[in-house]
Structure 1
């Protein structure tokens, strides 16, 4: 008699979301009594509704010298397994700083566990009012929520079936690039040479496709000189074309030198119309904006038609008057006025519209 073993699998899915709650005219709220709160708009994460509560006068009579901030589960008679991170945004740097964090736990809307923090988050009012969180009578609360969805169980499968191994085509293509085996074109970049394969480049880049298989001069040439690009940038571009991934870079999202590499890669991806790489570079840059880097990133966004990145940079610069003042004081902003004056015009137009509103 034939024997077989069946298997089923349980998969846990986490859904994450973020909400930003901006409070203007803070000084006008200081008369609100303890226990009274202002609630943000309701936002949804993981199929549940949430809101942020702000207590200008403290959450209880013994906390009247403090302000308080909570996350609230809004669904009635509901339980949700979630974690959250409540942050205040430093308006000098534009970066959020965690003030209360919760690991994964059960939020029950029927009792105090439906709130975070359960024990009461109090921030001394005097310290808060003299901090960089409050600028121009305005501050920003950012709340990140991670919800664990109900586990999903798959149907029965034969354990003794034959499973295919994970795709490794990018490894093979990367090895082919490194070895140069079968290469039919050589690039010269500032004295360094790179061997590659016309067919692979043409499939991944319409610009290379036109050069090698169109009527352009390079179609029959075996040596192509690349102007106005650094060898390391071209090497990283080739690596992405062959493997669909960025080369290893220590702390690529935070290190100053690697930020500069990402900017150069964005320019290269735009030049050769490698669209996925262009979007990845934009994503890395927008996640790591700060006062010192935002002007250079904004200029790059204008130069290479990155509309969404441009909007994110402008939103950062105009997020508060203190951030605007800090950006204006940087050398990057002085360079921006010379290299991309239209960006400066758009920034001040956005500021004008904010104050007009």
Structure 2
């Protein structure tokens, strides 16, 4: 089969298309014939060595496809079932072996490409707006990178819960996309904390979802009102340096969290409940994934270059 391999951490050129042996499912495992794989910044972190992985490896955490075969003891899925997964390394390939407890059924009303576009980021957006900080009606929510894959979903879910969303995006076109997703206000990155203060009559936001990281976290903290929460949900500009906790006291008894999926979606039951809720919203039209581009598997390096350029609006997919 064909798969993308990383033999040594590096830039996008480290992604190489190779012929590898076809895998088979072991006990408790399922072989998925992938239709599409989602491209996410976590893939960049694995590729460049920010997150360690034993090389050589096949990157990709998110995919959707059809069950090809099942291993001994698998009871929840059978060949032909439509499935998605969001936390299994190895999605950039024609086939991926996935533990049964990491698979989510995809309902008939959801296209497999759409499932691949929202499996990881949709689940993340759901727990960020329902658990990390349960967004409430009337709150002011700030979303950075609001036209990107995660940001757009955060905007849609926060607006659906009755919040006033302030979307931060770098260009007029990206701001338009954020407004179409439900943002009440759209602003650029320059002095965005001052803009948030002005829009809220000085009160500040209840929560800021910051997926940018190093370049923005101080402005995000300054955007918060009393006892507000900064949820650092990505590091696209680099990791945040060690923080002086007195900034939290001086900013108004603020909360800071760096949420991860493994601490919110920690077993098969929570994964399928959260994933099922996301797919229900997709089927109902409440969540509408926006695919910036769907590239062939062989163009994985180009997909990473596009993602790192921050020129994309919406999701990047690799089609298999």
Q: Same fold (TM over 0.5)?
A: no
Greater helix share, 1 or 2?
Answer: 1
Q: TM-score range by the shorter chain?
A: under 0.3
Q: TM-score, normalised by structure 1?
A: 0.23
Q: Which has the higher contact order (CA 8 A, sep 6+)?
A: 2
Q: Which has the larger radius of gyration?
A: 1
Q: TM-score, normalised by structure 2?
A: 0.25
